[in-house]
Chain A
Amino acid sequence: MLEVRNIQTYYGNIQALKSVSLTINEGEIVTLIGANGAGKSTTLMSICGVTPPRHGQILFRGEPIQHLSAEQIVSQGIIQVPEGRHIFPQMSVIENLEMGAYLRNDRAGIKADIDDVFGRFPILEKRRNQAGGTLSGGEQQMLAISRALLARPSLLLLDEPSLGLAPLIIKQIFEIIKQINAESNTTVFLVEQNANQALKIAHRGYVMENGAITMEDRAENLLSNEEVKKAYLGM
């Protein structure tokens, strides 16, 4: 579904991605793990056209997308939940959700989808008119994921959804990611520092170091890999 071929991304003169290649198949949950500063977020931002790669190719359903603008990529169904959640702080919960559906015009469908996420996250319905910036971290993460769902993603990119959340909430969030993947057949690309949890729900995984992919395998193999265990699982 998505094929990233040797992309190199720069911030000014600093090269953040040296040569990243990866493949995501339809229906999968694929995770990308690695330390802080390895280039995981940059990989996502490159796919989304926010920091377009200087070299290399990104193919989505066989078509190159690396030259498209961010909004054109969104319109293809590639939706990102960025690190730090990026809730619009002065907009209400409802308005945040509506922004997720910015490129859609089917009013009735949007309304149905909002009801749908309220069913999934009842707490958001309770807070529907509250400003997004006043929600707790866990609520904001739920809102961020819901907002992405409002775009009806075919490929959902999640950047550190567990960051800064309580263990119980983290468990809930991972459960929801699994559900989204299973129920609506949404392909998920999950970037995580919480390698243990991420590998448990993923089908396949990539390990990233210093702007390059160093390992690739089925998730259960990575979980039992000695190197991965030592470096990322704290065992």
Chain B
Amino acid sequence: MDFEYLFELLCGGVVKGSIYALIALGYTMVYGIIQLINFAHGEIYMVGAFVALIITGILTLSGYSDSGLSVLVLAAVIAVIYAAAYGYTLEKIAYRPLRNAPRLSPLISAIGASIFLMNYVQLVQTPDFLPFPELVPEFEFMEPLSRFVSSVDMVILVVTALTMVALTVLIKYTKIGKAMRATQQDMVMARLVGINVDRVISATFIIGSVLAAIAGVLIASRTGQINSAIGFMAGIKAFTAAVLGGIGNIPGAVLGAMVLGIAETFGAGYISSAYEDVFAFGLLVLILILRPAGLLGKAVKQKV
């Protein structure tokens, strides 16, 4: 057995999983609170990538000539702010008016919002693929590892890890994080202790969108090209990851994403890369048969 190859695939899988995880978190957090699959979430990720592309373009044209990495950081920050505004507005326009409607209505609205955003970007930008500049330099210290992880991959891994830590701290210790957990566990009681549930839901959409935009910028600088349709597949995959881990469960989304990413690269590397998506969705079907609640989808038993 070729262990070097195996390790290479594993690294590739984890990198892929990181991107899925960043997007899947948005799905799972929103679902946890309002039991809605936000199908427009993939589009937020795409918008994030586009904003970053536009900003890098402007920076390059205006002769802002620092290192590529600082351009990337600046572009990412602006992309994140834009995406947060998109997420907030999306919730306000497409979901809040349907808060007390039957569950199917917001779902349809979500699909509509997804189609709208995709076409909107297609219209104001272009349906073609656009090249995304290579902004991450080749780090010298990565030389010995370059067979397994490229410099871009390293940036993805580090940024994802930092984002996860930040998210964990936010949810565990901050006031808004506690309010989010309380709302998720018991919305009526959350209102009875004085939590403004609408504000919590807005915050959830904003946080999810921020994560998706980070993922969008990262993936764009890895693949080197984006178009208005990239949100669709990424969204479906991340949704799969969230279901795989147990929808509504935050650690589950990360675990599901890693499992999905690794399954995909292993399937592609050992069997055939043409069937990459088959491995992803085949795995989903398998999990849904064997563990319908997902890998970690099991609530603490409550005594009544």
Convert B162-193 into 0s and 1s, putting 1 for each residue whose CB lies closer than 8 angstroms to a CB of A. Answer: 00000000000001001101100110111111
A89, B299: Cβ atoms closer than 8 Å: yes
What band does the interface of chain B fall in when counting residues whose beta carbon is under 8 Å from A? 20 to 34
Contacts of B191 in A (CB 8 A): 48-50, 70-71
Within 8 A of B (CB), among A116-142: 131, 133-137, 140
Q: Contact: B181 with A134, CB < 8 Å?
A: no
* Contact call B194/A151, Cβ cutoff below 8 A: yes
Contact with A along B57-75 (1 / 0, CB 8 A): 0000000000000000000
B303 close to A136 (CB less than 8 A): yes
From known contacts A70-B191, A82-B189, A90-B181, infer whether A137 and B300 are also in contact, taking CB-CB under 8 Å: no
A90 to B185, CA, bound (A): 7
B209 to chain A, nearest CB (A): 24
User: Given A90-B185, A91-B182, A75 and B194 touching (CB < 8 A)?
Assistant: yes
Question: Which chain A residues (54-88) contact chain B, with CB distance < 8 Å?
Answer: 69-71, 74-75, 79-80, 82, 84, 86-88
Report the bound CA distance from A48 to B195 in whole Å. Answer: 13
Do A134 and B303 contact each other (CB < 8 Å), given the known contacts A86-B186, A91-B185, A102-B179? yes
Chain A residues with Cβ below 8 Å from B182 are 88, 91, 99, 102
Pairs A–B under 8 Å by Cβ, sample size 28: A49-B191, A50-B188, A70-B192, A71-B196, A75-B194, A79-B192, A80-B192, A82-B192, A86-B186, A87-B189, A88-B181, A88-B185, A88-B186, A88-B189, A90-B185, A90-B300, A91-B181, A98-B178, A99-B178, A99-B193, A102-B182, A103-B193, A131-B300, A133-B301, A133-B302, A133-B303, A140-B303, A151-B194
| 4 further interface pairs, Cβ-Cβ under 8 Å (given A70-B194, A82-B192) | A80-B192, A91-B178, A95-B178, A103-B194
